[in-house]
Amino acid sequence: MKAFTLALFLALSLYLLPNPAHSRFNPIRLPTTHEPASSETPVLDINGDEVRAGGNYYMVSAIWGAGGGGLRLAHLDTMSKCASDVIVSPNDLDNGDPITITPATADPESTVVLASTYQTFRFNIATNKLCVNNVNWGIQHDSASG
C-alpha cells in the first residue's frame, strides 16, 4: 500500500510540473520602439495635423517612388458582382479612393483617431445597392498572430 501511495504521489507531483502556478505572461508592459509612448498618441496626416474621425483621407505610400500609390477598392474576383479587394495602386500618382476612418472607441463622440484604437475604414465610392456593404474594411487585433 505504501508503494502505491508513493507512486500516486509521485505521479501527481509530476503532473503539476508543466502547469506552473504563476502566469507565463509579464504583467508589466514596457514601451518599445515599435509602439507609441502613450496610448493617447493621435495619428497624424501628411501635413502633421491630427486625423479626424469622419474626415475623408487618401491612404498612400509614405515613400514616394516606391512603386505604389494609394489604396483602392478593386474587383479581382470574377465570380463576385461587387468589388471586395483592397489593393495598392501601382501608380505613384494615383491617390486611390477616398476613405473615411472611424475609430472603434468607447466614446462615440471621439473626434481624433488614436494609434492605440482599432479602426474601421469606409471607401467613399459610388456603388450599387447590392454592394453597399462591401465598402467597409476594418482592422482588429488577431490574438493568434499577436
The model's pTM: 0.61
Average of per-residue pLDDT values in the chain? 71
DSSP 2: H
Residues 6+ apart with CB under 8 A from 84: 73, 75, 77, 134
**Per-residue pLDDT tens for 58-101?**
988 877 777 778 888 888 877 878 887 888 888 888 899 999 88
- E strands, the chain, are 56-57, 71-74, 85-88, 99-103, 119-123, 136-139
Instruction: Report the run of H or E that residue 9 belongs to, with start and end.
Output: helix 2-16
Domains of the chain in start order, with CATH, are 41-146 (2.80.10.50)
Residues 6+ apart with CB under 8 A from 50: 42, 43, 44, 112, 113
| The residue count for the chain | 146
Backbone angles phi, psi at 86, to 5 degrees: -95, 120
